[in-house]
Amino acid sequence: MDTSGNGGDILWSFSQVKGTIEEDVTEADIISCVEFSPDGELLATGDKGGRVVIFQRDQMHKSSDSKRGEYNVYSTFQSHEPEFDYLKSLEIEEKINKIRWLEQSNPAHFLLSTNDKTIKLWKVSERNKRPEGYNLKDETGIMLDPSNITSLCVPQFKPMELMVEASPRRVFSNAHTYHINSISVNSDQETYMSADDLRINLWHLEVTDQSFNIVDIKPANMEELTEVITAAEFHPSECSVFVYSSSKGIIRLCDMRSQALCDKHSKIFEEPEDPTNRSFFSEIISSISDVKFSHNGRYLITRDYLSVKVWDLHMDSKPIETYQVHEYLRSKLCALYENDCIFDKFECSWSGNDRHIMTGSYNNFFRMFDRDNKRDMTLEACRDNMKPKQVLKPRKVCTGGKRKKDEISVDCLDFNKKILHTAWHPSENYIAVAATNNLYLFQSKD
């Protein structure tokens, strides 16, 4: 159900914020990915320190329609440690690049997490009973002398305090020469793919020592390298179809049924550049940082530096919708190049009904686009409006002339505060926004 205000816009209200308030943020605490589980009951974040924190929704909300369950910490574990590649004299960061959940098929939950080189499959399970009444051990666990045992008792399971255990079930390593930028679980729930700058590999979830190279764009001579892979994702229901995007602003749709090595794409989605906007920065800002299939599998969204585009899989000539995220930064590209912000990789998310799109910006702003009404909104993740259920006020950026009272000047934007990672609940208007080391949760106003 859409909770809409005037003109069909969703009225967003503050729900929760996770993370410390301290001004001195340690690098390890910076959130590097956010992902809801397929049913939305769990929410995982990864950080630069290699940790995964899983939040679980309060189970109260299932019995009460009026109460929206809050998300509370469910499990925290160290997923990756820093490593050193002695052959290449390279340090491998522990930072979690991506997390992807598997569909739940038993009481346990499974998720994939990856740093630059190694992917791990984690099992997250609950224990609330323990066996008691051993024959060969006493209550403290010390072994008894078997010759003194005169009778046998049947061990019983007794209730205990709930324990959540995260255990690594598989480790998939040594398959990527370059840094892994994306992983995507196939709809068959048996295979997944991992992409780095030049190659995409297909894995079986049960097989750790073998993967199949399905895309390889590495040129024979590296001096001829003109583009790199930036993101890749499987189709939500067609298990042979996937897309990958590149630094040239191109999206290629591939079908694994056509050939084993998908170097020849089935379709290519590319928008010719507007000559009037041509500049020194054109190639950098046209690089695609994220690509996502819609839930119904008909559309794609792609995020480049200044805009979000919606593509219809049946029409590859041009996008059917283009939304400007922060066009007011076009005049600031030189400064953004000098402070490296122009290389920031923003993600984008679909709402559960594919009607809305969300993506991040600077100054802790994030943008909402309503595809039906062609309306957009700028909202801010900050601790100033932290009263529960308080409706977020739309923000406006002024680019010149007289500034109105509620507006913020483009020259006053803080480029150190950036919303790179966002996630939308799969079926409800509930969103998670990562702002540096804080995770903000917002919900539609009841």
pLDDT tens-digit readout, 26-44 = 889 999 999 999 999 999 9
pLDDT at 64: 53
CATH number for 53: 2.130.10.10
pLDDT for 198-255, tens place per residue?
999 999 999 999 999 999 999 999 999 999 999 999 999 999 999 999 999 999 999 9
Q: What stretches in the chain show pLDDT beneath 70?
A: 1-8, 60-68, 385, 401, 446
pLDDT for residue 157: 79
Please state the separation of Cα 294 from the chain's center in Å.
15
Sole residue written with tokens 């590495």: 218
The pLDDT of residue 131: 77
pLDDT of residue 6: 40
Instruction: Enter the tokens of residue 47.
Output: 């950080």
- Residue 340, token pair as written in the block: 């490296």
pLDDT of residue 370: 95
How many helices and strands (H and E) does the chain possess? 2, 32
β-strands 396-398, 407-409: how paired?
parallel
| Nearest-10 Cα torsion for 57, 63, 68, 72 | -20
Contacts of 94 (CB under 8 A, 6+ apart): 48, 49, 50, 80, 81, 82, 83, 115
The answer to whether residue 223 sits within a structural domain is yes
- 230 lies in some domain: yes
Q: Are 15 and 441 in contact (CB under 8 A)?
A: yes
Range of the domain at 103: 6-444
- Contact by Cβ (8 Å): 377, 383: no
Q: What was the pLDDT predicted at 404?
A: 76
Look at residue 243 and tell me if it is in a domain. Answer: yes
pLDDT score at 66 = 45
Question: Is residue 300 classed as helix, strand or coil in its secondary structure?
Answer: strand
> Cβ(47)–Cβ(31) under 8 Å?
yes
- In this prediction the pTM is 0.88
Distance CA 172, CA 237 (A): 25
114, 97 in Cβ contact below 8 A? yes
**Within-domain flag for 34:** yes
Residue 1 lies in a domain: no
172 lies in a domain?
A: yes
205: left (phi over 0), alpha (psi -120 to 50) or beta: alpha
- What's the one-letter identity of residue 55? F
CA-wise closest residue to 186 among 108, 273, 265, 256: 256
Domain count of the chain? 1
